[in-house]
């Protein structure tokens, strides 16, 4: 099924209102599930979020963007901070934030003096960085 047709169906089923614009996939969206563009009314959705979290969560993201859409065209509070937006989002069981993917820690640095551990996802230059507690030397314990 076409993405625009899917959004139109969700709009009618969950809001009882038509979606009169178009929706597109946007592969550049990585941390946000979707975007609403008030200038022309179209919606963007993340292909990555859909692939990672599946269709059940994606439907909640579509509801979130449709809350922006319908409230904007009804000239009501459509921003995240607006009470009307929060109420409608709760009513239609939309999602406020996309769950963050927890990355496995790759590097563990340990202070030679006090033994404090520093988990990091990126390597650090051990000659430039010291322990924040005692200024001791950091050593790389293990990495995956």
Catalytic positions, written as ranges: 65
Q: What angle do CA 15, 56, 73 make, to 5 degrees?
A: 25
3-state secondary structure of 6: helix
**Rg, Å, the chain Cα set:** 22
Site of tokens 């899917």: 6
For 15, the enclosing helix (H) or strand (E) is helix 3-15
What are the residue ranges of helices labelled H in 44-136?
47-73, 83-91
């Amino acid at each position: 099924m076409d993405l625009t047709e899917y959004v139109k169906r969700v709009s009618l089923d969950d809001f009882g209102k038509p979606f009169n614009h178009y929706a597109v996939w946007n592969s550049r969206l990585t941390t946000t599930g979707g975007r609403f563009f008030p200038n022309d009314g179209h919606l963007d959705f993340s292909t990555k979020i859909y692939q990672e979290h599946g269709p059940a969560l994606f439907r909640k993201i579509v509801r979130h963007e449709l809350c922006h859409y319908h409230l904007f065209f009804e000239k009501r509070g459509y921003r995240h901070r607006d009470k009307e937006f929060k109420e409608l989002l709760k009513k239609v069981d939309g999602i406020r934030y996309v769950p963050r993917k927890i990355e496995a820690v790759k590097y563990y640095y340990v202070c030679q003096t006090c033994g404090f551990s520093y988990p990091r996802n990126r390597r650090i230059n051990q000659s430039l960085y010291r322990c924040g507690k005692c200024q001791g030397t950091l050593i790389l314990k293990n990495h995956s």
